[in-house]
Chains A and B, each alone.
Chain A
Amino acid sequence: MAEDLGTGDGSLNAPSWLRWAWVPPALFLAVLLGAPLASVLGHAFNAFGSFDWPGTLRIAALAALQAAISALCALVIGLPLAGVLSTYQFRGRALTQALVTVPFVLPTVVIALSFRGLLGSVLEPGLLLVIAAHTYINLAVIVRIVGSTWLQLDSREVTAARALGATPFSAFRTVTLPQLKGAILSAAAVVFVFCFTSLGVVLVLGDSSTRTLETQILRETSLLLDFPAAALTALLQLMVVTVALLIGARASMKRTQTTPRLRLSRLPHPRLPRQRLLVVSIVAAGIAIVLLPLVSLTLDSVRGQDGWTLQWWQSLTSLDAGTTRLGTPISAIAVSLKYALISGAIAGAVGVLAAMSVLAHRVGRAIALVALAPLGLSAATLGLGLMLSFGRPPVDLRSWDLLIPLAHSLVAVPLVIAVVLPTLRATDARAATVASALGAKPTRAFFTAYGPTLRIVLLAAGGLAACVSLGEFGAASFLARSGSPTVPLQIMRLLQRPGDASYGVAAALAMVLVIGTVLLILGVDALGRRRLAR
């Protein structure tokens, strides 16, 4: 396995340019992360005197309450699913796992729209709808984070507890739960942050009681044009997010220290009738929860007041059906595809270079850590910072249509590194040594070992970044010019207009986004499988 990239036996044979692989990602982060953050900080200090502290703190408190309830609901629904998926082997387990991930990878605006279609007739916009959508989106976070720890627990410990007289619930409470505590806290902190900084869901499904600091930043920026106040709100939000993430990270570290042992054998099948009933009922409920909103969205895209219709799909290419003055939906699709392509190229290149530099140079490890920062920054903070730094003269990247792809790249780079780094680490570097011994120059030897893997991970990383770009709503809502909205922005604008026509076209447009996202994820997955096959 590779420790020193391209060498396998030390750094003597590494190509010299590899030592400087950290420079492009470092420059990218310094300019696109450093400058916006400095700009937000600078503006925030100007707002201290006139800032509406009581109003903003009230919004923060309500948003924290909403996020806490959402995290709790996600735990209540996600934990049984995580338990079943981590405890038993059964037919359809992989498919269930993949399905649970779907809500997390779909654009938030699409999910908000599908919940409006599914529950909009029984629930008024407000707290309940927002919590329902947040719970849905974050199921995957609970299942993935808690499930990965649960999978490592030895199921025989529960059997040992049962043999000592514990009921199933008592065995869970006294043996399983204490060992999952760290993972549960860690997952809950992540969900809390996502819900606390929610923008798209709150705009589509919320009312005045569900405002978040994120929507407040958007309001202060686009409606009140009070940039210093927006910057101070962003700073306040950043502080809450940092505290929540630190609590989660601390819990996660505890989890690593106390995880006792790796699972020794394969997962058992549910043998007892009670176990089978448990698995079937939880999996069926989970699949229904995941699919219902999507089925509702699909139906809404082909249903009008007078029955089934393809009218909304036909309207994608025209200015009819409520889309007048907003541009055709198809032009929004073209804008989104263009941005996805540019973001894929930039984030793929920067992320792969950052991952390579982690293995090649000490500075690279620090750069990769800094590159994770956008994960903790909200879309509004990022969008506001970029707009303050590069969205106005003298440096106006908005007019070159570059600012949104750059923002999307910044958001995607941490994910790209997370996907690429383990792949590069798993590549056998000894091939470079063999090539060197056969007379290859360092660069040739490097590409002999890593070339095939790099080609695949570059494509996969680009696809992943494009997927992030397609669905991103928050930063784009700050940075888009009114004449060229992305698909999520166009959906939002359509929803802000009254009438069935606007809603129907929004549903059709959302379906285009769902199909695009699913195709990209399947493509990335296929590339991953191809790499494994090698």
Chain B
Amino acid sequence: MMYGLELANCAIGYELPFLHADLQVPDAGIIAILGPSGCGKSTLLSTILGTIPVLAGRIRVAGADVTDLPIHQRRVGMVFQDPLLFTHLTVEANVMYGLRRAGVSKEQAHQRARELLAWVGLDGFGARSPLELSGGQAQRVALVRALAPKPALLLLDEPYSALDSDLRTRLAAEVAGLLREEHVTAVHVTHDESEARSITDRVHRIADGELLG
């Protein structure tokens, strides 16, 4: 069976491993990973993304072994704790960024960016600077920017932690709906159990250096 994400016997860490991960996420499935601060959630995501090398084991995304591939060839998108929008570009240019890197023409990228912004309720915001957006709006732009080049896997690293709790729960449920609509495999990391439950029933925990199913 082909999985959206497969971590096969992975040892995660810097010089020495501190987390063992064995995980299969079905294609278009959404999982949440729960764990206290410092347990290695972000390191796990960085390893899947490719900014930290895996110490042992293999990582497969949509059936392809990406263990030795550089970040830009893995087809893994990421939404960070902060939106990290490029402030020297407009909102629309941010959404177009990944499309242009994938070789999509300027006109088509424009069109797609406008559609995606309308999809998350930000129609008419394209010409603005990211600095003019509220926290929730900026995080929605970060989400559609990550989704625009159609990644095989989307990683969400506590993307709502900077928002207030009402907005956080609402946005988390809203985004989970959008991801299902787009059939994207997603791994959502959080330390908030209610946020995790509002996204998916499939919640994994990190405890004692193990990622538990």
Asked if A and B are interacting partners, one says yes
The complex places the Cα of A178 from the Cα of B86 at a distance, in Å, of: 10
Closest chain B residue to A271, Cβ basis: B52
| Cβ contact within 8 Å between A271 and B97 | no
Which residues of chain B in 151-190 are interfacial with respect to chain A, using CB atoms and an 8 Å cutoff?
A: 151
Cross-interface CB contact of B72 among A154, A162, A271, cutoff 8 Å: A162
Partner-contacting stretch, out of B25-33, B74-82, B191-199, B203-211:
B74-82
With a 10 A CB-CB cut-off, give which of A165, A167, A269, A271 has the most chain B CB atoms. A165
The complex places the Cα of A260 from the Cα of B82 at a distance, in Å, of: 13
Contacts of A154 in B (CB 8 A): 82, 84
Assess whether B4 is interfacial by the CB under 8 Å rule.
no
Assess whether A175 is interfacial by the CB under 8 Å rule.
yes
The complex places the Cα of A264 from the Cα of B72 at a distance, in Å, of: 24
Contacts of B146 in A (CB 8 A): 163-164
**Residue count of chain A within 8 Å CB distance of chain B:** 27
| Cβ contact within 8 Å between A164 and B98 | yes
Given A174-B97, A271-B53, A272-B53, decide whether A163 and B84 contact each other with a Cβ distance below 8 A.
no
Chain A contact residues, majority secondary structure: helix
| Cβ contact within 8 Å between A156 and B80 | yes
Closest chain B residue to A161, Cβ basis: B97
Assess whether B8 is interfacial by the CB under 8 Å rule.
no
With a 10 A CB-CB cut-off, give which of B49, B71, B145, B149 has the most chain A CB atoms. B71
Contacts of B149 in A (CB 8 A): 164-165
Interface string of A252-286 (1 = CB under 8 A from B): 00000010100010000101111000000000000
Within the complex, the shortest CB–CB distance from A241 to chain B, in Å, comes to 30
Within the complex, the shortest CB–CB distance from B192 to chain A, in Å, comes to 20
> Count the A-B residue pairs with Cβ separation under 8 angstroms: how many?
69
Closest chain B residue to A179, Cβ basis: B88
Interface string of A160-201 (1 = CB under 8 A from B): 111111111011001100110000000000000000000000
Which residues of chain A in 279-306 are interfacial with respect to chain B, using CB atoms and an 8 Å cutoff?
A: none
Given A174-B97, A179-B88, A260-B87, decide whether A163 and B76 contact each other with a Cβ distance below 8 A.
yes
Contacts of A324 in B (CB 8 A): none
Assess whether B56 is interfacial by the CB under 8 Å rule.
no
Within the complex, the shortest CB–CB distance from B86 to chain A, in Å, comes to 6
The complex places the Cα of A171 from the Cα of B71 at a distance, in Å, of: 11
Within the complex, the shortest CB–CB distance from B128 to chain A, in Å, comes to 15
Contacts of B87 in A (CB 8 A): 258, 260
Assess whether A157 is interfacial by the CB under 8 Å rule.
yes
Given A170-B101, A272-B53, decide whether A162 and B84 contact each other with a Cβ distance below 8 A.
no
Categorize the interface residue count of chain B: 20 to 34
Which residues of chain B in 138-152 are interfacial with respect to chain A, using CB atoms and an 8 Å cutoff?
A: 145-146, 148-149, 151
Assess whether A159 is interfacial by the CB under 8 Å rule.
yes
Closest chain B residue to A160, Cβ basis: B84
| Cβ contact within 8 Å between B14 and A271 | yes
Interface string of A126-161 (1 = CB under 8 A from B): 000000000000000000000000000010110111
Assess whether B64 is interfacial by the CB under 8 Å rule.
no
Assess whether B51 is interfacial by the CB under 8 Å rule.
yes
Contacts of B2 in A (CB 8 A): none
Contacts of B118 in A (CB 8 A): none
Interface string of A229-264 (1 = CB under 8 A from B): 000000000000000000000000000001010001
Contacts of B148 in A (CB 8 A): 164
| Cβ contact within 8 Å between A157 and B71 | no
Which residues of chain B in 36-88 are interfacial with respect to chain A, using CB atoms and an 8 Å cutoff?
A: 49, 51-53, 70-72, 76-78, 80, 82, 84, 86-88
Closest chain A residue to B101, Cβ basis: A165
Contacts of B72 in A (CB 8 A): 162-167, 171
Contacts of B82 in A (CB 8 A): 154, 156, 264
| Cβ contact within 8 Å between A157 and B101 | no
Assess whether B102 is interfacial by the CB under 8 Å rule.
yes
Contacts of A157 in B (CB 8 A): 84, 86
Cross-interface CB contact of A164 among B70, B80, B101, B131, cutoff 8 Å: B101
The complex places the Cα of A171 from the Cα of B98 at a distance, in Å, of: 11
Which residues of chain B in 94-142 are interfacial with respect to chain A, using CB atoms and an 8 Å cutoff?
A: 97-98, 101-102, 131
The complex places the Cα of A264 from the Cα of B151 at a distance, in Å, of: 27
Given A162-B72, A165-B101, A166-B72, decide whether A178 and B88 contact each other with a Cβ distance below 8 A.
yes
Closest chain B residue to A154, Cβ basis: B84
Contacts of A160 in B (CB 8 A): 78, 80, 84
| Cβ contact within 8 Å between A175 and B53 | no
A-B residue pairs in contact (CB < 8 Å), sample of 13: A157-B84, A157-B86, A159-B51, A159-B71, A159-B78, A162-B72, A164-B97, A164-B146, A165-B72, A178-B88, A260-B88, A260-B131, A271-B53
Besides the known contacts A164-B146, A272-B51, 16 further A-B residue pairs in the complex with CB atoms under 8 A apart = A154-B84, A157-B84, A159-B51, A159-B78, A161-B97, A162-B72, A163-B49, A163-B76, A164-B72, A165-B149, A166-B101, A258-B88, A269-B14, A271-B51, A272-B53, A273-B53
